[in-house]
Each structure stands twice: as C-alpha cells, then as structure tokens.
Amino acid sequence: MNPILLDFPHEFTTERFLIRCPLPGDGVLVDEAIRESQDEVKARDRIL
C-alpha cells in the first residue's frame, strides 16, 4: 500500500492539548495568539 494514502487523523488530543490544523474561523484566535507571543519569541531569539 502506498503510505501517502494511509488514513491520518485530523487532530491529536491529549489530557492537556488539542493539536490540529487551522480550520475556517480560527483566523482571529490564531492572529491574537501570534500577537500575544511576539515579545516572548523575540526575547528568545536574542538569547540564542
């Protein structure tokens, strides 16, 4: 069987996380999360 054709889950759920691809309607929340974390990411870049 061609591995590219295997059924792959759309999301992974654990006790603490939900990992999935962005869905329609997620844009506002994704944008907000990016804006809220920009300073922290920039600070880590300066350390490295």
- Give pLDDT tens digits along the chain (48 positions): 677 777 888 899 999 999 998 899 999 999 999 999 999 888 887 776
Q: Could you tell me if 40 and 33 are in contact, meaning their C-beta atoms sit under 8 angstroms apart?
A: no
Provide the domain limits for residue 38.
3-47
SS3 18: strand
Tokens representing 29 are 């929340």
pLDDT of residue 1: 64
pLDDT of residue 11: 92
Core vs surface per residue 3-18: b (16+ CB within 10 A) or e: eeeeeeeeeeeeeeee
Q: How many domains in the chain?
A: 1
pLDDT of residue 25: 95
SS3 8: coil
pLDDT of residue 41: 86
Whether the pTM exceeds 0.85: the reply is no
Tokens representing 23 are 């869905």
